[in-house]
Structure 1
Amino acid sequence: MAFGGFNKQGNSAPMAEINMVPLIDVMLVLLVIFILTAPLLTHAVKVDLPKASSAENKQTPNKIEIAVDGAGTIFWDGEAVAEETLNERLMAAGKAVTDPAQAPELQFRFDRATQYETVARIMASSARAGLTKLGFISTPDK
């Protein structure tokens, strides 16, 4: 494959082939540079770090579990309560909160047959009490 010649008849058509030799040369030079510099980049500084002992921080989550069965019976942490008692306990729990980050989480368990009106009343009572961390517990499908 000749790129030029001494004949005067020369081809006037443009060359349609890419000359890969200079690209390969540049790639090989870069490869050699990276091979030489890679070991220099992995140099680690040895530092004598202090030793510390720590215990696992076991914090029990602050939660209140509220459940409602299909008949409309309300349970506060497994104890059956009336709706008025539930409102009083929610207000007491809301007033006991000094730091919003430490507020208890309300975990709701509602039966499939629970009326939406009951759910809405309980959620409105918790919002009035200032308890805004809500979680819904359900049983996954198999």
Structure 2
Amino acid sequence: MRSLTQAARALLHEFADEQIPLVVRGVEWPCWRCHSTTWVPALIHVDGFTDIYSVIRAVSDLRLSYLRECLILCGSPLAHTIKTRHSKRAGYYLSHGCPNCDALAGAFFLDEAITEALVNNTVGRLPLIAAFRRPNLEYLLLAADRDNSHWYDD
């Protein structure tokens, strides 16, 4: 019988080499400043899996940073709409912005749109922003971050 450490190393080695197809989808957002309606990249999931347990909300923190990096790697013009912004209350933080006027697209409103798509089971009908392959381990770590993050931790 192998030790737990040996088994863990074997799994990590296997997952480090395996690439999986990931998809970024957007949610509709009406800009409060310029009144344009745009699709903000805010969800990541494995291609073909759009249930509530598979979708990762990428509206803040590490998940938003990962989404931005993936959009940069894909050459998506929407990558530039995700950047560090400043507020007196929250300080400096990574956030979405309007591609037309750079107004802040608040995480609360984006999260509400994601929740609506999940409840209505319409994630698969949201526009596809980007599709790419990444190491399986990245998605597992992203999902672990999602599963261990809570609103009351802030």
TM-score by length of 1: 0.22
Q: Which has the higher strand share?
A: 2
